[in-house]
Structure 1
Amino acid sequence: MAAAVSDRIATLSAGRGLVFGCDYNPEQWDRSVWPDDVRLMQQAGVGLVAINIFGWSSINPAEGVWDFDALDEIIGLLHDGGIRINLGTGTASPAPWVTARHPEILPVGEDGTVFQQGGRQGYCPSSPVFRAYAAEVVTRVVERYGDHPAVSLWHVSNELGCHNALCYCGTSAEAFRGWLRDRYDDIDALNRAWGTTFWSQRYSDFDDVRVPAQALSLRNPGQILDFQRFSSDEQLALYRAEAAILRKRSDVPVTTNFMVTAHIRNLDYWTWAGEMDLIANDHYLDRRLDDPRGELSFAADLTRGLAQGAPWLLMETSTGAVNWQPYNLAKAPGELQRNIAAHVARGADGICFFQWRASTQGAEKYHTALVPHAGEDSDQWREVVALGGLLERLGEVAGTRVIADAALFFSWESWWATENEGRPSEALTYLGQVHAAHAALADAGVTTDVVRPGGDLDGYRLLIVPALHLLSDADAAAIARAVENGATALITFFSGIVDEEDRVRTGGYPGAFRDLLGIRSEEFAPLRPDETVFLTDGTSGSIWTERLRATDAEVVASFADGPSAGGPALTRRTAGAGEAWFVATQPDRIAYRDLVARLAATAGVVAHPGGNRDVEIVRRSGDAGSFLFVINHGESGAEISATGHDLVTDAPATGFVPAGAVRIIKEDV
C-alpha cells in the first residue's frame, strides 16, 4: 500500500518530489486575472491546484441548465501551464435553487432549528433528494473531465460533516432507524445495548425510536453514542456514493479532505481511511488552545496513522491568520516555515494551502492566502516563493517514512463516550488527555505513531493509553498480549471503564485493565478545575484522583494530599516479559515528560538527543537516505548532534539551530 500511495502522490507532483499546491477559486475573479494567476503559480512553484470545490452554482446555475465554459477555460490554462488539477466534484454546497425548490433538504439542529440557505453545507446528509441532485452533478463533471490529462486527483465534496454532521430532521430519523435495524436486527438487542430499562425507555418497535434531540433532562447515552456512529456513517455514505460514480468512469485516484483537528470530533476517520486512495487532511493552527503547535504535531501523527504510516497530503492550511476564530492572529516571522516543516517531518508528502488568492468578498475575505490582498509586493508573497523553493529542495524526502517504536492510542468512539452527558467531571476532556500524553512524548524526544484500538501492535516497545474510556474486551486483550510479549504500557485514569456499548464493567475500575495493572479502584474522586494534588515522589497532578488499592502491583508513588490521600497514584506491574503502569492523575508537564522518558528507557526506545519542549526532532528514512528534521520553537539556539547536508540552508550542517529556525539534514551514512 505504501508504495502505491507514494506513487500516487509522486504523480501529483509531476515527479518533482513533494507536492506544493492550493485551492483556487477562479470564479471569484475576472477572466483577465487568470493568465496572471498561472504565471504566479509557476513563479512560486505551485504544481497542484484544487478547483470546482464550490462550483455547483457556477456549472449548474438553474435546474436543467449546465455551463462548463469557464471551467473548460481554466482547466485548459492550468494544463498549458504544466499545473496538475485536483478536481472537485462541486457538491460541497448545493446551488441556491436546489434548497429554494426543495426546503425539505435543509438540516435541522438539536433544538429543532431549521438551518436556512446562506452558509455552506446547507443540506441533510441523509436526504435522498440532495443525494440524487449531487449524483447528477458528479456524473456530469466526471463525464466531461474524467479523461482530461491534467486531472490527477478527484476531490469528493469538501470537509464532509464540518457543519452538518449531526442532523435531527425527520429524514435523518428515518435513516437512523434503518441503521439501527441493520446494527441490531431485533429490538431486544437494541434495548440491551442502550440499557432502556432505565427511566422507562424500553422500546417495543424500531419505529418508535427518534433521534436524540434536545430533551428536558440527560439523554440516553447509548442512544447518543449510536447516533454519533450513524452520523459518521452517513457522511461516509456520501463519499462512497460520489466515489463510486467517479471510479466507474475514471482511473484517477479519489479522496476527500479529512479534518483531523481539535475542534472537529463527529467523524470516525478510522472507519473512513480504507475508502481513500490516499489520505488528505486539512489543518489550521487553533489559537484557542494552550498549545497550538503541539496540537499540530499530534494531528500530523494521527493523519499518518490513518495512512498506515504511508505518506499523506496536507490538503489545506494557511499562510497566516484564518477568519473563523475569535482572535485571528497573524503568524510570527518564521512560523509558517516551522508549521510546514512539522507536517512534512511527520509524513506529509504534499503541502497545499487555502487558498491561492485572498478573496475580496464572501465570508472568508479575511482568510490569508498565497497571494495576499497586498499582492506580489509583500513579505507574505516573498515568504511563499521561498517556501516553494524549500519544498523543491526537499524532493528527496518524498516517499520516506517516519519510524517509531512508541504507540499512542486514539479512538473517536472513546472521545464521544468520554465527553457525552453525565460524566464524572467536565474538566476531564478526552482530547486534553491525548494531547497531554503526546506532549510528554515530544518533550522526552520520543517520536510516536498514533494507533487505533485493535490495530497491529507488532514492533511497538512503548504503549501509551490515555483515557481510553470505551473499548472492547478484544482490544483490551490485545494490549495485554503486547505487554506480555515485552512491551511497556502506560495506562491513564478513566481507561477501560466501559465496553463498546458504553456499559460500565463491574467489579472495580479500571474495568478491562484491572487484571493487567494489578489494581482495583472503588471510587472516582475528581478534582475541581483549579485544584492540584501532590504525590509522594514530589510531583503534582490535576483534574483527577481515585481511591484505589494495589492487588498485584508495586506502588511507585502515592497521593500525599487531596481526596485520595494515602492511596496509590502511580503503580507498576510486571506482566510476562513487559510492564504495565497506571497513573491515577494527570501529572504536571515536567513530571509527565520524566515519566515517559523513564518508561521509554526501560522499554529500549531511543529518544532523539536534544529533543525537548522547544525543540521538535523527527527522522524520516527510506531508500533516498535518512532526513533529520529539527524545528526550534524556542527563543534561544539549540545544539544537536547531526552531520550531513542541511536542505534549508543548502549548506553543510553545523549542529546549531538558531532560535525559531528549521534545519532539515540529509544525514551522512
Structure 2
Amino acid sequence: MPRFHGKLSSLAYGGDYNPEQWGPEVHAEDSELMREAGVNLATVGIFSWARVEPVPGEFHFEWLDGHLDRLARDGVAVCLATMTASPPPWLARLHPETLPVLEDGTRLYPGSRQHWCPSSPVFRTYAVRLVEQLAKRYAHHPALALWHIGNEYGCHISRHCHCEVSTDAFRTWLRGRYGTVEALNEAWSTTFWSQQYADFDEIHTPRTAPSFRNPAQQLDYRRFSSDELLACYLAEKEVLDRLTPDVPVTTNFVPLAPTLDLFRWAREMDVVSYDSYPDPHSADAVHETAFHYDVMRGLKDGDPWLLMEQAPSAVNWRRRNGRKPVGRMRLDSWQAVAHGADSVLFFQWRASRGGAEKFHSAMVPHGGRATRIFGEVCELGAELAAYPGLLGARPERASAALVWDWPNWWALEQEAHPSADVRLLDGARALHKPLYDASVACDVVPVDADFSPYKLLLVPHLYALTAETARRITEYVASGGTAVVTYFSGITDEHDRVWLGGYPAPLRDLLGLRVDEFDPLREGEHIQLSDCQGSLWSEDVILEGAAAVTTFSDGRPAITRHTYGRGTAWYLATTPDAPTLRTLLDRIRTETEVHPVLPGLPPGQQARTRVTTDGARLHVVYDYETGTAEVRQD
C-alpha cells in the first residue's frame, strides 16, 4: 500500500472520528488533543450517510470538507468511509423492499443499523451513487490515505435475508453453481425426505421449517450469503478503483465469526482490517485474541493487516462490560503489532453523549483530558511512534501452520450431528494454544494453501473435506511433513455428503486407521485415558498400520501415530486435557524442529518477528504477566 504508507511515518494510530456529533468548540479541542495523543490517522464518515444526503439526491459535503481540511492541516491522514453501513430512514420509507427479512418472515426496520437487504438492487444503486459522489469530491484531497467500504459486513445480517428479492437471487446463484436442477438434487441429496426439485423456482432460502432443514441447502445458503455481501462491497470498490486507483481499499471484519468466507473476501481487499474486542473478564482472552490475529495475518499470505477497531477500556454490548485495567490497553495494542498489525486504531476517538454506544469507551472519555484512559492513550501514541521501522514490516513466516476453512466451519456446526459440542473454534484454539504458550509462531492457512514451507500442520475438525484437499494433505505428509489431525475430520465432501468406505475415508491411508463408530461424551463428562483424561468425544478406532500412543482405559486407541512416506500423521480421537495436549505438542514440535521465536524466553513471555523492507528483524516481545512490552532488533 505505497500511498497509505507514504502518508505515515510510523504505525497508524487513531480511530473512528465522528465530528458530526459535536459542535465547533469540541472540534477545536479535538485538534489539540489529537496532537497531544500522537494521532496520525482518523477513520471518518462511517455512519454519515444521512448527514451528507438528508434527502434523496441532495448532497451536502461542505461540513465534511471543513473537517478533512482541518485534519490535513493537523497532519492527520484520513481513512474515509463510504458511509453505506447504515442507510438514512428515507430509503426505507421510499423503498420498504430494501429492508431485510428473517427466516421466520419478520421484517427488520430502521432505528438501528445495517437495515438493508444485501441482494437489493435498489440499495446497491443508492449506495453506488453515494460512493461516486464521494470519490469524485475527495479523490485528490491531501488527507485521503485509505478508503473504508461499509462497516462490519455480516455483523447484524450474517444470515443474509429471506425476502423475495433474496430468494430470487439465491435461485440465480444456484443456477450458476450447479447449471441444472438435476445436479443440484444430487449435491443436496434431495431423495431424502422427498425433497427433489423439478425447477429452480421451487427452491426457497432455508426459512423456518417443521424440522431439520436440508444441510446442503443451508451450507449453500451460507456460501450465497457471503457472496452477496461481497457483491455489495465489490460494487462500491469498482467505483473507487476507477476514480481513485492509487488509494487502497479495505473494510473491517468483525471479531472472528462464522459469517463471511474471509479467505474469499481477502482476495478483493488491498489490506485486511479487523475489529478486536477481547473480554477483560475472560481468562482465555489473551490467547483467543492471538489466534484471531494469526487468522487475520493468514488471510493475505502473511501480509500486515490493520487493527481497525479496539476498545480503550470497556465496551457497551455485553451483559457485563468490564473495563480494561491499567496497562491492558497498551499490552493489547502491542500484541496486535506483534502478530502483524500496521495500525492501532480504536472505536472511537471521543465518547458519544447519546445513542446506543454512549457507554462504549473512547480515546477521549466523557471526562476528557483529565482521565486515566486519555493519559494512557497519549503514552501509547508516543511509544508506537518511536518504532517507525515496524510500519510495513512483514511478519516472519512460521514453521507451523493451522488449516482453517469457513465452509467447513459452517458444515461442522449444523444440526443433527453426533454432538453439538464439537466446535471449530474450540478445536482450533486447543491445538494453537500449546504452541502459543511455548512462544512458537503459528500461521493460519486456507485449505488450498501451499503447505510445503511448514514443518508441522495442525488440522482441527476438518469435517467437510474435498478429495483435492485430502490429496494435498496426504502428499504433504508423504513428502516429509508432520500433520496432527483431530477427530470428526474427513467425514463429508463439500456438499455435506458422507464419504463412504469407513471414517475418515479420504484420510484412512494417511492416518493408518479406521473409525468404526462415534461415541461422543455426555455434557460435562470426561473419559479416562491411559495417562490423562479426555473430553467431548471418543470413538472406536481400528488400527490399520498406525500405532497407539495413548489408549482409552478400555484399550481403544485414543492418540495414534503413523509413518507415511517420509512424514508422520498423528490422530486424536478425543480432546486430551490441556497439560497432556501441551506435552504432546511439545514432543511433536521438538521432533519436527519447530522452535520458539526467540530462545530462552521465560514462561508467559511472547515474541513475534517482523522483517523490515531493508531486511532488519524486529522482535516484538510482550508479557501479560509482568505487563511489559518492548521491541528488540538483531
Aligned to 2:528: 534
Query: C-alpha distance in 2, partners of 1:158/1:193?
Result: 34
Aligned to 1:414: 408
SS in 2 for 1:620: strand
Identical positions, percent: 44
| Cα 1:138/1:665, change in 2 over 3 Å | same
Residue of 355, 365, 372 corresponding to 1:379: 372
| Cα 1:591/1:427, change in 2 over 3 Å | same
Per-residue CA shift, 1:500-546, capped at 9, x if unaligned?
Answer: 1111111111222111000000111111221111221x122100111
Aligned to 2:477: 483
Aligned to 2:201: 207
Query: C-alpha distance in 2, partners of 1:158/1:480?
Result: 40
Per-residue CA shift, 1:377-401, capped at 9, x if unaligned?
Answer: 1111110001101111121222322
Q: CA deviation at 1:426?
A: 1.3
Give the letter aligned to residue 162 of structure 2. Answer: Y
Residue of 316, 335, 349 corresponding to 2:342: 349
Q: Does the aligned pair in 1 maintain the 2:516–2:540 contact within 8 Å?
A: yes
Per-residue CA shift, 1:608-667, capped at 9, x if unaligned?
Answer: 445687332322234352222332222xxxxxxxxxxxxxxxxxxxxxxxx222232223
Q: Does the aligned pair in 1 maintain the 2:45–2:81 contact within 8 Å?
A: yes
Aligned to 2:25: 32
Cα RMSD (Å): 1.5
Query: Is 1:578–2:555 an aligned residue pair?
Result: no
Aligned to 1:11: 6
SS in 2 for 1:408: strand
Aligned to 1:186: 180
Aligned to 2:628: 661
Q: CA deviation at 1:140?
A: 1.0
Give the letter aligned to residue 391 of structure 1. Answer: L
Query: C-alpha distance in 2, partners of 1:628/1:540?
Result: 37
Query: C-alpha distance in 2, partners of 1:454/1:500?
Result: 14
| Cα 1:9/1:539, change in 2 over 3 Å | farther
Q: CA deviation at 1:307?
A: 2.2
Query: Is 1:620–2:610 an aligned residue pair?
Result: yes
Aligned to 1:455: 449
Q: Does the aligned pair in 2 maintain the 1:53–1:158 contact within 8 Å?
A: yes
SS in 1 for 2:267: helix
Query: Is 1:590–2:579 an aligned residue pair?
Result: yes
Residue of 23, 46, 49 corresponding to 1:56: 49
Query: Is 1:513–2:513 an aligned residue pair?
Result: no
Aligned to 1:331: 324
Q: CA deviation at 1:12?
A: 4.5
Aligned to 1:104: 97
Q: Relative to structure 2, which stretch is displaced further, 28-37 or 373-382?
A: 28-37
Per-residue CA shift, 1:434-475, capped at 9, x if unaligned?
Answer: 111111221233210000001111210000001111121111
| Cα 1:443/1:418, change in 2 over 3 Å | same
SS in 2 for 1:275: coil
Aligned to 2:425: 431
Query: C-alpha distance in 1, partners of 2:229/2:529?
Result: 46
Q: Does the aligned pair in 2 maintain the 1:51–1:88 contact within 8 Å?
A: yes
Aligned to 1:84: 77
SS in 2 for 1:618: strand
Per-residue CA shift, 1:269-307, capped at 9, x if unaligned?
Answer: 110111111111111114586511111101111100012
**TM-score scaled to structure 2, two decimals?**
0.97
Aligned to 2:537: 544
Query: C-alpha distance in 1, partners of 2:602/2:484?
Result: 20
SS in 1 for 2:146: strand
Query: Is 1:631–2:622 an aligned residue pair?
Result: yes
> Which residues in structure 2 correspond to 1:148-159 (within 5 Å)?
148-159=141-152
Gaps of 5+ in 1: 635-658
Q: Does the aligned pair in 1 maintain the 2:279–2:322 contact within 8 Å?
A: no
Per-residue CA shift, 1:5-29, capped at 9, x if unaligned?
Answer: 4x3552242xx12111211000000
Q: Does the aligned pair in 1 maintain the 2:84–2:127 contact within 8 Å?
A: yes
Per-residue CA shift, 1:540-596, capped at 9, x if unaligned?
Answer: 210011111110111111101xxxx32100111111111000011111111111111
Query: C-alpha distance in 1, partners of 2:571/2:112?
Result: 47
Residue of 225, 229, 238 corresponding to 2:219: 225
Q: Does the aligned pair in 2 maintain the 1:253–1:278 contact within 8 Å?
A: no
Residue of 317, 323, 344 corresponding to 2:310: 317
Query: C-alpha distance in 2, partners of 1:512/1:607?
Result: 33
Residue of 390, 393, 403 corresponding to 2:397: 403
Give the letter aligned to residue 10 of structure 1. Answer: H
Give the letter aligned to residue 620 of structure 1. Answer: R
Give the letter aligned to residue 664 of structure 1. Answer: V
| Cα 1:260/1:406, change in 2 over 3 Å | farther
SS in 1 for 2:560: strand
Aligned to 2:459: 465
SS in 1 for 2:381: helix
Query: C-alpha distance in 2, partners of 1:494/1:11?
Result: 48
Aligned to 1:646: none
Q: CA deviation at 1:43?
A: 1.4
Aligned to 1:525: 519
Q: Relative to structure 2, which stretch is displaced further, 98-107 or 220-229?
A: 98-107
Give the letter aligned to residue 616 of structure 2. Answer: G
Q: Does the aligned pair in 1 maintain the 2:511–2:561 contact within 8 Å?
A: yes
Query: Is 1:169–2:163 an aligned residue pair?
Result: yes
